[in-house]
Structure 1
């Protein structure tokens, strides 16, 4: 199922650099969404030297939603993930390979890996973290919004080089979909193994973003992807 779906992924929405393109942000949406909404959000904080790529996940049946077909990076069995037995390990790894292929395309196009940020919201943020940590190239950084670290039991052994990269993780403390405790659990794992890690809490924010959070994302991107 996952292999066929991944081969038919939709072309990403791209917000092109308006100046000389020297950096790229690849940002992954959450379950059931598309790249369009996040391309708009990122265009609100864009910098002229950065290209923003917002791919749309393929449609697949999602076990969590009683097999209903929707855009999803991988299958979700439950939102109470306690172990790898509760996760679509094969699907996560195939999706990560897809994202890592996008990084490779940017590198082939002349943008060094250390001028690329991987980020995402919810399921997309989970995939961004996993793809970044299992990539063999040093990235500029990672952004995970309202998210978690999938296959967390495989770390730190599965980490390649990006435990050194700056990470911004953000979570609302009133999130009813990906509970705040999931963000805290991920923080407890990443803070042990990552040397440049920031966790931000947004009081009262549910499973969404906010102007304050997006300003924090902008400041992070400005810091890790400055003009050259």
Structure 2
């Protein structure tokens, strides 16, 4: 396992085999960092024949309005998480992180990974970024995994979504007892994506704002389907 930096977002890199042919770019949630989901790699049950490069980038440090301006790792600034009024994003930081994630994807292409072998994944705010970036990316990706999250800038999706990923496989999962990102927001995102014609796979688990063993097993099954 190595740590990447340079001008790109710093990231933890883990390869499951020599000469990787696939990349899974996995974004953490608000206030966490790239280490958060590294332990899950060994729990996914992926076949040894799949040589995957996992990238776990660290979001920039920035003040976050919903946390009274405290500085922490965050993909973008935002305020208000409410089942009715939703989330109010600060668009400049949202776009900045979109470009930073796209730069990591582009670097993978230069390292020999085909766009169709790249998965964008994330939890909470990281899952929101996976949806936001993946649906707008101009080359067809393998899939989007969005865990315990919502659809940011949802009112802009119809105008900004790229047709290259109109048929992308999307795995969404949420906890029925999530008290951080309300289920109503996740369900609204799933409904909008389904009505927009995306290939949605929705999973609901009896958990809070977290991940569970059944969810990890379902993620592993989904990854095997889209990557093999």
Calculate the TM-score normalised by the size of structure 1.
0.90
In structure 2, the partner of 1:21 is: 20
For residues 31 and 153 of structure 2, the distance between their equivalents in structure 1, rounded to whole angstroms, comes to 21
Residue of structure 2 in register with 1:102 after alignment: 104
Structure 1 residue 57, shift from structure 2 partner: 0.7
8 Å CA contact 1:13–1:53 kept in 2: the answer is yes
TM-aligned CA deviation for residue 163 of structure 1: 2.2
Q: How does 1:182-221 map to 2 (within 5 A)?
A: 182-203=185-206, 205-221=207-223
Match of 1:71? 73
Give the match's secondary structure for 2:10: strand
Q: Partner of 2:3 in structure 1?
A: none
1:168 and 2:167 are equivalent in the alignment: no
Worse-superposed segment, 43-52 or 66-75: 43-52
Q: Is the 8 A contact 1:34 1:57 kept in 2?
A: yes
Does the CA contact (< 8 Å) of 1:29 and 1:56 recur in 2?
yes
Superposed CA offset, 1:25-44 (max 9, x none): 00000000011121121233
Over aligned residue pairs, what C-alpha RMSD do you find? 1.8
CA deviation vs aligned residue, 1:119-162 (integer Å, no higher than 9, x gap) = 10000000010000111010000000000110000022211021
- Say whether 1:39 aligns with 2:54: no
Partner Cα distance (2:198, 2:35) in 1: 33
* Residue matched to 2:55: 53
When the two structures are aligned, how many residues end up with a matched partner? 218
CA distance in 1, matches of 2:155, 2:92: 15
SS state at 1:208 partner: coil
Higher strand share: 2
In structure 1, list runs of 5 or more residues that go unmatched: 1-6
Q: Write the distance in 2 (CA, Å) between the matches of 1:94 and 1:23.
A: 25
4+ aligned runs moved over 3 Å, structure 1: 7-10, 81-84
User: 1:131: which partner in 2?
Assistant: 133
